[in-house]
Amino acid sequence: MGSLIGLMAGVGVLLVVWTFAEPGWQPTRAGARRPGRLAELMARAGVEGVSVPQLLALCFGAFVVAAFVMLGISGVPAIGVIFGAMVGSLPIGVLRGRANRRLREHAALWPDAVDNLTSAVRAGLSLPEALMQLGERGPEGLRPAFRQFGRDYQATGRFSESLDLLKARLADPIGDRVVEALRIAREVGGGDLGRMLRSLSGFLRDDLRTRGELESRQSWTVNGARLAVTAPWLVLLLMCLQGDVVGRFATGAGLVVLTTGALLCVVAYRLMMWIGRLPTEKRILA
């Protein structure tokens, strides 16, 4: 029985990592080391001062505490492991939600930021000055990143390296496009930079409007998928208050039912989210 519990615990941790892993591979600059998926997730969520080992330690601690609590309530090791895996995945789930929310907020701010940048370039400001003034007059949500860009540029005088730090701080595909356009304009000259920025601003507004309509129609599908996955485990949680009923899951057949149900829920949820997903931009040269 002990080896079976250990196997289920390992499967639970593996499912947590697989469920919240970001698919896909993105190119990197030559000689640059690509950060891990969890590091990218924390960057997109705007989390600073927390390392990947600390995040994993938090997930493991939540898993252990929740598993022992549910084991004490239900008396069934399999239930403890399953609910422990659910609770252990919460920190990463919170990070994913925060990253998606931050990406939507930035997407709504970038058209105004690009317009502000276009006006600054037309007014005769240099590219570094145009970017630094976004830290004072740009959209509120983007100001901290551009203020830090100004500090980096004033400290080093290296425009390209300061842009790299700005990209890493924003962790935003739209920001990548703007930054790379400015980098090219700085290195090879760009007489049509103002026209390009105006076109980019119009495209971003059209994309934001279209995506908002699609997300509003998709929300009921996403909420339905989450409700369908959550409902059986809420019922099981209530059943844990009845020892004679939940004790049936301590048998071999009960263990098979719990394991199969957990696997089917994970696969079904991922499948529904994959079918209903909207196309997302990939970061370029990140």
The pLDDT of residue 1 is above 60? no
More confident residue, 189 or 117: 117
Task: Report d(CA 66, CA 80) in Å as an integer.
Answer: 7
Contact, 110 vs 204, CB < 8 A?
yes
Task: Report d(CA 40, CA 269) in Å as an integer.
Answer: 23
Least confident interval from 7-16, 75-84, 123-132, 220-229: 7-16
Task: Report d(CA 261, CA 268) in Å as an integer.
Answer: 10
Calculate the average pLDDT of the chain.
Answer: 78
Task: Report d(CA 169, CA 59) in Å as an integer.
Answer: 24
Contact, 180 vs 196, CB < 8 A?
no
Q: How confident is the model at residue 12 (pLDDT cuts 50, 70, 90)?
A: low
Give buried/exposed letters for 61-85 (b at 16+ CB in 10 A, else e): ebbeebbeebbebbebbbbbbbbbb
Least confident interval from 127-141, 190-204, 223-237, 245-259: 190-204
pLDDT of residue 189: 63
Least confident interval from 68-72, 144-148, 154-158, 275-279: 275-279
Q: Which two tokens stand for residue 216?
A: 């509003």
pLDDT of residue 65: 93
Interval 41-56: pLDDT, tens = 888 888 877 888 999 9
Q: Which two tokens stand for residue 155?
A: 């400290």
More confident residue, 61 or 28: 61
Threshold 0.85, pTM exceeds = no
The pLDDT of residue 277 is above 90? no
Residue 148's alpha-carbon distances to 9, 131, 136, 175, 192, in angstroms, are: 43, 11, 11, 15, 27
Helix (H, G, I), strand (E, B) or coil at 139: coil
Q: How many CA atoms lie within 13 A of 34 on its CB side?
A: 13
**Amino acid symbol at 163:** L
Burial-class residue 191 by CB neighbours within 10 Å (0-12, 13-18, 19+). exposed
Contact, 281 vs 110, CB < 8 A?
no
Interval 174-201: pLDDT, tens = 888 888 878 877 777 656 677 777 888 8
